[in-house]
Structure 1
Amino acid sequence: MKALVIDTESRTRFTELTPPECRADEVLINVRRVGLCGSDLNTWRGFNPLAVYPCIPGHEIGGVVAAVGSGVRAVAPGDRVVALPCTECGVCSACLNGRPNACKDNQTLGVQRQGAMTPMVALPAHKVLVANELGYDELALVEPLSVGLHAARRAQINVGEWVAVIGCGVIGLGAIAAAAAMGGRVVAIDIDRRKREVAGACGAERFYDNRETDIAAALGELDQGRGPAVVIEAVGLSATIEQAIELVAFTGRVVYVGYAKKPVSYDSARFLLKELDIRGSRNATVADFRAVLALMALRRYPVELIISGHYPLGQADRAFADWAADPGAYTKIMIDV
C-alpha cells in the first residue's frame, strides 16, 4: 500500500508498505481522511524539532474499522472512528496526575512515530472512539478541535468573561467554539480577514485583523476598560506570544497552545504587576475528544467553512506546497486516502 514520506527540507516521496497486522488488543482502520496539521507543515518545512525523519505524517484521522483483534469488544468492523494520536507512559508525573496528554515520553502519530498518510493503520483499541453518526470529514476534524477545546478548558472560562483568541486556524477555531460554548464572549484575532466568517460561525462576537487594527486599544475597551480576562495564543509566533501578556487584563489567564520556534523574551515585571496565570496547553484528553464529538453532534462547528479543500493521497505532496505558498488561503486541507 502507498504511503507519503517526508524527508528533510521539504522533500517528499511515496513508498510501498506492507499492510499492518491486527494484534489482539488492536483495531485495523481503513483510513478515509487525514487532515493536514500545522505540525505536519512544519515537518515538511523542516521546522518541527520533534519530528523523526523519514516521517510518514498524519494524525488527524477519520476512518472505518476493517477488523478488530481477538481481545477487542467495544469496537466492531464497519464502525466509523476517530483516533487519539498520542501515547502515554503511565508513570511520569503528568500521567500520575491524571494528565496523560502532557506525558513526558509522549509519541505522536506522524511526529515521533509513523503516521496515517496511508490507506491502513493498526492502533490500540483504547485509542479509538466510535462515532457512526459523523462523516469522514467531521471525524478528521475532531483531533485539532479537541486541542483547541483543551486550551479553552485550561483557561477555566467563566460565563460572561471576555476571551481573546489569537489565531484562527483549526486549533484556534476549536478554542473559539469551546469558549463560546462555555459562556465566554469571544474576540477572534488573525492576520487574514478571510477568517472572519468562519470565526463568527464558531461563536466569535468580534473579529480583528492584527495588521489593520490597534489590537491593544481595541481589547483595552472590553469589560469597561479592563480588557479580556483570558487570552489564548494559538499561532506560535514570538510576537503574539509576547503580545498576549500585554493584552490580558490584570489577574487574567494566558494560555499558550502555540509554541515559538525560537526563544521568546519577556519583561517579567508584567507577570508580577498583573499577577497573571500563564498556562501551557498540550494535546487533548479522551474527555476533550468526547466533548468535541458532542458539540459536533449539535452542529456547533461550521465544517463546510473550516475545510478549504480536498486532495487525493497521490497529490498530498502538492497539498503541502500549495499551503506553504499561501497559508492564509487554507484553514484545513483534507487528504482523501
Structure 2
Amino acid sequence: MKALEITAPGECRLTEVPTPQPGAGEVLLRVRTVGFCGSDLNTFRGLNPLVSYPRVPGHEIAATIEQLGEGVDGWSVGTPVLVFPYTECGKCSACRADRPNCCRYNQTLGVQREGAMSEFFAISAEKIISAEGLSFSELALVEPLTVGFHAAARGQVRDGDTVAVFGAGAIGLGAIAGAAFRGARVIAIDVDDAKLELATACGAAEAINSRTMPLHDRLQELTDGHGPDVVIEAVGLAETFVAAVEEVAFAGRVVYIGYAKAAVAYETKLFVMKELDIRGSRNALKGDFENVIKMLSSGGFPSDRIVSHQSTLDDAGETLAAWGQNPQAFTKIHVDFPLGDSLSS
C-alpha cells in the first residue's frame, strides 16, 4: 500500500509499505480522509521535538472498517468511523486524576508513533468511534475541533461568560465553537478578515482584527471595561501569550492550547493582582469528542468552509510544503483517498 513519510525536515516521500493485518482486538481501516494538523507542519519544518524521522503523519482520520480482528464484536465491515488518536498508560498522575488526555506517556498517532497517512491502518477497536450521518470530511474534522472544545472545558466556560479567542485557524475555530456551544458570548481575534468572517459563522458574536483595530480599547468597549472572563490562546506567539494575561478580566481564566515559539516574558504582578487561573490544554477527552459529534450532527456548523484545501495522497507532500511556505493561506487541509475495492473482493 502507499503511505506518505516525512523523512527529514523539509522532505517527504510517497512510499510502498506492507498492508497491515489486524491483530486480536484490532480492526483494519480503509482510510478515506486525513486532515493535516499543525503538529504535522511542525514535523515537516523540523520544529516538533516529539518526532523522530522518518514519520508517517496523520491523526485526524475518517475511515471505514475493512476487516475485523479476532475477538472484535459490535462492529461491522463498511461502517464509517473516526479515530481517537491518543494513548494512555492508566498509571501516571494524569491518568489517575481522570485526565488521560495529558498522560505522561501519551503517544499520539503521527507524532510519537506512525500515523494514518496511508491507504490502510490497523488500530485497537477500542479507539474507533462511529458518528452516524456525518460525511468523511466531517469525521476527519472531529478530532481537531475537539482540541478547541477541550480548551473551552479547561477554561470552565459557562453560559453568560464572555470569551476571547486569539486565533481563527482550525484550532481556534474549535475553541470558538466550543465556547459558543457552552453558551458563552465569543470574541474572535485575528489579523485576517476572511478568517474572522469564518469565525463568526462558527459562533463568534464579535470579531477584532488586531492589526487594524486597537485591541485593548475594543475589548474594553465590548466588556464594559472589565475584559473577557476567559481568554483562550490558539496562536502560539509570545505576544499573544502576554496579551491573554493583560486583557483577561480580574478573577479570569487564561487557557493556552499551543506552545509559544519563543521565550515569554510576563509582568507577573498581573497573575497575583488579578488572581488568575492560568491553564494549559492538551489533546481532548472522549466527552469532547461526543460534544463535537453532537454539534456537527445538529447541523449549522460550516464544515465545508473550514476545509480550505483538498489534496490526494499523491500530492500530499507538495501540499504540505506549500502550507509551510505560506501558512496564512491555509485553514485546514484534507487529503482524500479513493474508495477502492475491498481487500476481500
Code of the residue aligned with 1:129 in structure 2: it is I
Is 1:332 the equivalent of 2:326? no
Name the SS of the counterpart of 1:63 in structure 2.
strand
How many angstroms apart in 1 are the aligned matches of 2:66 and 2:321?
32
1:107 alignment counterpart: 107
Name the SS of the counterpart of 1:188 in structure 2.
strand
Residues 153-207 of structure 1 show CA distances to partners (whole Å, capped at 9, x for unaligned) of: 1111121211000011111111111111111000001121110221011110111
Residues 292-325 of structure 1 show CA distances to partners (whole Å, capped at 9, x for unaligned) of: 1111101242111101121110000111122122
Q: Do the aligned residues in 2 keep the contact of 1:79 with 1:131 (CA within 8 Å)? A: no
Code of the residue aligned with 1:258 in structure 2: it is G
Code of the residue aligned with 1:118 in structure 2: it is S
Code of the residue aligned with 2:321 in structure 1: it is A
Structure 1 alignment gaps of length 5 or more: none
Residues 59-83 of structure 1 show CA distances to partners (whole Å, capped at 9, x for unaligned) of: 0001101011222223221110000
2:322 alignment counterpart: 322
1:176 alignment counterpart: 176
2:343 alignment counterpart: none
1:138 alignment counterpart: 138
**Aligned positions, number:** 337
Relative to the length of structure 2, the TM-score reads: 0.95
1:249 alignment counterpart: 249
Percent sequence identity over aligned pairs: 52
2:340 alignment counterpart: none
2:47 alignment counterpart: 47
Q: Within 5 Å, give how 1:1-337 maps onto structure 2.
A: 1-337=1-337
Name the SS of the counterpart of 1:250 in structure 2.
coil
Residues 83-114 of structure 1 show CA distances to partners (whole Å, capped at 9, x for unaligned) of: 01111011001001111000000001000101
Code of the residue aligned with 2:253 in structure 1: it is R
Code of the residue aligned with 1:207 in structure 2: it is A
2:341 alignment counterpart: none
Name the SS of the counterpart of 2:308 in structure 1.
strand
How many angstroms apart in 1 are the aligned matches of 2:262 and 2:125?
37
Q: Do the aligned residues in 2 keep the contact of 1:177 with 1:202 (CA within 8 Å)? A: yes
How many angstroms apart in 2 are the aligned matches of 1:157 and 1:210?
23
Comparing 7-16 with 277-286, greater Cα deviation is found at 7-16
Q: Do the aligned residues in 2 keep the contact of 1:79 with 1:132 (CA within 8 Å)? A: no
Relative to the length of structure 1, the TM-score reads: 0.98
Structure 2 alignment gaps of length 5 or more: 338-345
How many angstroms apart in 1 are the aligned matches of 2:288 and 2:72?
23
Residues 98-157 of structure 1 show CA distances to partners (whole Å, capped at 9, x for unaligned) of: 110000000010001010110011111111001231111000000000111000011111
* C-alpha deviation, 1:27, in angstroms: 1.3
Code of the residue aligned with 1:128 in structure 2: it is I
